[in-house]
Each structure stands twice: as C-alpha cells, then as structure tokens.
C-alpha cells in the first residue's frame, strides 16, 4: 500500500475507524485465547475453530434469511 493510499484511508476512516479496528482485534484475540485455554489446543487450532463457528453462524443466518424473507434478494 503506498503512502498516498494509506493517508487517504486514514483521512477517510479517521481515528474512530482505527479504534474500532483495534477493539475488534482485541475481542477476536480474547475469543481465540479462551477457546485455546478451554480446549487445551494451540492458538492456530483455536483460530480455525473460531473461524468455523463464525462460518456456521453466517450459514445459519443465510438460511434463515432465505427461509423467512421471500424478497430478500430484491433488497440489493
């Protein structure tokens, strides 16, 4: 990423974007550390478990949207 595009990114997103990004990273790190501590696995395995859980949640949400919203595709 060049200096021009990164400064444009910072100008567009501002400090609030950076802070929200750091908050997300901390929450994800807490979740991954918790999974690795509870299950006694490495952080890499815990990361894949966490991503699998997020994938299942996304898939269930997608299925529910298609089941309960008949015109969900026309919203976009």
What does each of the 76 residues of the chain score in pLDDT, given as a tens digit? 455 566 666 566 677 888 888 888 999 999 999 999 999 999 999 999 999 999 999 999 999 888 887 665 555 5
pTM: 0.64
**Cβ proximity of 35 and 25 under 8 Å:** no
DSSP class of 40 = T
Residue 45 has a pLDDT of 95
């Amino acid at each position: 990423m060049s200096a021009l595009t990164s400064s444009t990114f910072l100008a567009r997103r501002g400090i609030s974007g950076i802070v929200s990004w750091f908050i997300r990273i901390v929450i994800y790190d807490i979740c991954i550390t918790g999974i690795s501590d509870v299950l006694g696995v490495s952080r890499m395995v815990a990361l894949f478990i966490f991503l699998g859980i997020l994938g299942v949640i996304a898939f269930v949400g997608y299925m529910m949207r298609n089941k309960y919203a008949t015109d969900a595709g026309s919203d976009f």
